[in-house]
Amino acid sequence: MKTIIIGAGPAGVTVAETLRQYDQQADIVMLSSEPYPPYSPPAMVEYFATGRPVHLWKGNDFPQRMDVDYRQGVEVVRVEPQRRTVRLAGGGEESYDQLVIAAGGRLYAAGLEENRPGVYNFKSLSAAEELLGRVRRGEAHTALIVGAGFIGVEIALLLREMGLEVTQLVRSRVMRQMLDPETSEVVLGMLRDRGIQTRRGADADAVAFVGEPRAEAVKMRSGDVVSADLLVAATGLRPNIEFLEESGIEMAWGVVVDDHLRTNLPDIYAAGDVAETLDRLTGERYVHAIFPNAVAQATVVVHNLLGWDTAYEGADNMNSLKHLGLPLMAVGQMEGEELRVRKGGVLRKIYLQDDRIAGFRLTGDVSGAGIYRSLMNKRADVRPFKQRLLEPNFGMGFIEESARSALSLS
């Protein structure tokens, strides 16, 4: 049985590792458009900040260890399901029995032209290397980040740490999709304290890149033009699905999959940032583009490749900033009864629906996140200890007797 995996990020890598673990005979081919051995994008920030490639690489010997035919710098440009074949850039094709689409996504700047020369997409290591190469060579002293989602904020913090003058364009609020307005304000204050300039509001809306042949500035709705040595697109993430356009594979924002992560076509699966899956709590279809989801989905895909009939529990809606000293954790929904505590730079909120945790936002102090998440995923009734949830030592060494039983701990 020959399995082709498109992409060598966390999803593709986990498919290869898990499949090999269970099937020593499987013929596994991995095709990656990146000219590197497999790597993990979340580790890039730490890598560039510290110079230590800890957790970044799976190792140059990954293909040998996994007995995988790994082809780097090879881009799939078309999938032809009727012929069970993928076509490669520069000619050539490869046939498969089973296909896993793990092509991830890229960062973009909403409302602005994509793939504009001079605008960096920090999602790939090649783009990040090019961008930071300019910083190290002293060619760049200022940066403009278009967008203020989680990854945009992480990139802004990294570039500031590297000594650049950084401006961040914030359309309405920082991390609008994941944070409530009050928490957004606290985070905005933290960014400003670190010397990151932020521009927001309708008059800060970016309408076009300016400069030929390379973009060198962004034009605002107000008519202002903001220029910088580095322009970075980071409003949100767009799944890499263009190469699937004529394949007959159903797509919406990302590749649409069922609860077994199967596409609408036989023997074709999708996992990771490219896949639109169900949210664990709301049941809505969405691309929750985070590392743990990519890994969990890849594992489910392998079970189903092997015919084990495994359903996916649904994706977590979760984000955390752990690098660069800005403690922030955002999990689940922001609706329902709000429990809140604020002290200095610490703001901690838990949202309850029917006395069950639906989400939480922790800023300045992320302690207790693990137990809140477990209670949330178990849909535990927290009524007996609701008033104590935000107490400083909740879940740290001591766990309320009733919380223990809600989590079925002895």
Ligand X SMILES: Cc1cc2nc3c(=O)[nH]c(=O)nc-3n(C[C@H](O)[C@H](O)[C@H](O)COP(=O)(O)OP(=O)(O)OC[C@H]3O[C@@H](n4cnc5c(N)ncnc54)[C@H](O)[C@@H]3O)c2cc1C
Residues near ligand X, by CB under 6 A: 6-12, 31-34, 41-42, 44-45, 75-76, 102-105, 122-124, 151, 154, 240, 243, 272-274, 289-292, 294
Cα dist from 331 to 165, 252, 363, whole Å: 31, 24, 12
Contact 104, 272 (CB under 8 A): yes
Residue whose CB is less far from ligand X, 188 or 329: 329
| Spatial CA neighbour of 280 closest among 379, 210, 383, 181 | 379
Tokens of 222: 């107000």
Contact 116, 209 (CB under 8 A): yes
Closest contact distance (angstroms) between CB of 111 and ligand X is: 21
Closest contact distance (angstroms) between CB of 242 and ligand X is: 8
Radius of gyration in angstroms for the set of CA atoms belonging to the chain, rounded to a whole number: 22
Q: How many CB atoms lie within 10 A of CB 28?
A: 23
Kindly tell me the burial class for residue 325, based on how many C-beta atoms sit within 10 Å of its own C-beta (0-12, 13-18, 19 or more): exposed
Closest contact distance (angstroms) between CB of 219 and ligand X is: 26
Residue whose CB is less far from ligand X, 12 or 389: 12
Pairwise CA distance, residues 83 & 25, whole Å: 23
Q: How many CB atoms lie within 10 A of CB 133?
A: 11
Pairwise CA distance, residues 227 & 212, whole Å: 13
Angle at 274 between CA 148 and CA 56, to 5 degrees: 70
Kindly tell me the burial class for residue 75, based on how many C-beta atoms sit within 10 Å of its own C-beta (0-12, 13-18, 19 or more): middle
Closest contact distance (angstroms) between CB of 312 and ligand X is: 14
Residue whose CB is less far from ligand X, 181 or 325: 325
Q: Where are the alpha helices (DSSP H) in 212-253?
A: none
Residue whose CB is less far from ligand X, 108 or 243: 243
Pairwise CA distance, residues 362 & 376, whole Å: 15
Residue whose CB is less far from ligand X, 6 or 228: 6
Q: How many CB atoms lie within 10 A of CB 83?
A: 11
| Spatial CA neighbour of 43 closest among 120, 125, 102, 121 | 125
3-state secondary structure 110-130: CCCCCCCCCEECCCCHHHHHH
Tokens 């060598």, located at residue: 8
Residue whose CB is less far from ligand X, 10 or 332: 10
Residue whose CB is less far from ligand X, 17 or 273: 273
Closest contact distance (angstroms) between CB of 399 and ligand X is: 26
Closest contact distance (angstroms) between CB of 37 and ligand X is: 11
Residue whose CB is less far from ligand X, 244 or 352: 244
Contact 341, 390 (CB under 8 A): yes
Closest contact distance (angstroms) between CB of 77 and ligand X is: 7
Residue whose CB is less far from ligand X, 46 or 180: 46
**Dihedral sign, CA of 157, 161, 162, 166?**
positive
Residue whose CB is less far from ligand X, 292 or 392: 292
Closest contact distance (angstroms) between CB of 182 and ligand X is: 23
Closest contact distance (angstroms) between CB of 74 and ligand X is: 6
Residue whose CB is less far from ligand X, 30 or 352: 30
Closest contact distance (angstroms) between CB of 294 and ligand X is: 4
Closest contact distance (angstroms) between CB of 258 and ligand X is: 18
